A and B are shown apart, each in its own frame.
Chain A
Amino acid sequence: MTVRHVLTLPHDVLTTPSAPVGTVDAEARALAEDLLQTMAASPACVGLAAPQIGVGRRAFAVDVTGHRKARSCHGAFVLFDPEIVERGPAEVAREGCMSVPELTGDVARATWLTVAGLDVDGTRRELRVDAFEARAVQHELDHLDGLLFLDRVAGPHAVFPRKVYR
């Protein structure tokens, strides 16, 4: 159980599709713990994917507890080998990423979706998420496909520096 270093661009593991976890064994459970610990160590972090801590496996953690934009909230959870079962219509909103600390971007994401995957006990779970939790899940799912929000921005003028150039 460790707070891991979060990788930033440029890094191959951030732009490479991750491999399936398959069986939730001790190694996978340790990865889940690290994801949860590392996420909790960064106050503004609402989600973290395994590639962000250098592990090319299909796993992510999400926790939107207490976030003002959240509607659905499943607390802190980890999913292995997640897949989208069903999705609603898209809406554009601003998002950032710990792996791209200096920029934010406007990205279209489904406003609700059903995501299925294995939990830390290896049991298949299906979660219906909406609003900010849905955005967080889709952002993390993209990481597992080697995609960042930068790859989905609505256009050249949809990327914003966090600090003003002076």
Chain B
Amino acid sequence: MTRFSLSAVGADRPGIVAAVSGALEDAGCNLEDSTMAILRGQFAMVLVVSAPPGTSAEDLERRLDDVALRLGLVVVVRPLHEAEGGGAGAQEGGPAAGGAVEPGPVSAWTIAVHGADHPGIVHAVTEALAAGGGNVVDLVTHLVGEPDAPVYVLTIRATLPAERAEEVADAVRRAATAVGVHCTLRPDESDLL
């Protein structure tokens, strides 16, 4: 099987997932990891799919042409090399195989950031995270508040190098404070049942 990343974005309406997944099924593809959300009225999906041998990215884009046109979606398909595929075992803490994240034990943290909205909040926090060898695993933002007083809420799940997690957490906290937002970092607790 050959793996591809597929992204599709367009104004939200019922039937987008059904139509895209139908076209992919017709092409013999299997949906692996995916995430989908409505962002300010735009439905956005990112998938990793496996396709029958010999399938090209162009083949898949062509097979999605009708759906894209009918639903007003911008679809981008890109082949993944073996090392980019991730796969079982890569998701808990450790970076995906082939990634540029430094090796070594990591710990999972949740980072909560909120404050008056202004450009540069995500950059300041993630720059400090990256400089310390941390890696963003999951990130969601919400813009709320009144139009004249918008509030930005940013929540990140990240892995930090285990041996200096507190030090990196301090750097992230300082970076957030420097751009005037409140930031709390907590190591994730998970009980194995």
Contacts and interface: CB of A to CB of B under 8 A. Distances in A.
Given A10-B151, A156-B155, A161 B110 contact: no
A157 B110 CA distance: 11
Chain B CB count within 10 A is highest, among A8, A147, A153, A155, for A155
B16 to A, nearest CB: 15
B112 A152 contact: yes
Interface residues of B, number: 26
A141 B95 CA distance: 37
A155 B140 CA distance: 9
Interface stretch (B73-81, B84-92, B142-150): B142-150
A10 B110 contact: no
A48 B114 CA distance: 20
Contacts of B153: 103, 150, 159
Contacts of A102: 142, 144-145
A156 B156 contact: yes
Contacts of B186: 152
A161 B139 CA distance: 15
Contact of A155 (B40, B110, B142, B149): B110
Nearest to B156: A156
Interface residues of A, number: 24
Contact of A154 (B38, B110, B114): B110
B38 A165 contact: yes
Contacts of A103: 142, 144, 153
Contact of B157 (A15, A146, A152, A156): A156
A68 interface: no
A11 B150 CA distance: 12
A9 B151 contact: yes
Nearest to A165: B38
A39 interface: no
Contacts of A164: 38
Interface in B124-154: 138-140, 142, 144-145, 149, 151, 153
Contacts of A152: 112, 184, 186
A28 B144 CA distance: 33
A164 B110 CA distance: 24
Contacts of A91: none
A157 B140 contact: yes
A165 B145 contact: no
A79 interface: no
Given A103-B142, A103-B153, A151 B38 contact: no
7 A-B pairs closest in CB distance: A156-B140, A151-B184, A102-B144, A156-B155, A15-B182, A10-B116, A156-B138
Interface of B: 12, 38-41, 110, 112, 114-116, 138-140, 142, 144-145, 149, 151, 153, 155-157, 182, 184, 186, 188
6 contacts: A15-B115, A146-B182, A155-B157, A159-B140, A165-B38, A165-B41
Interface of A: 8-10, 15, 100, 102-103, 146-148, 150-159, 161, 164-166
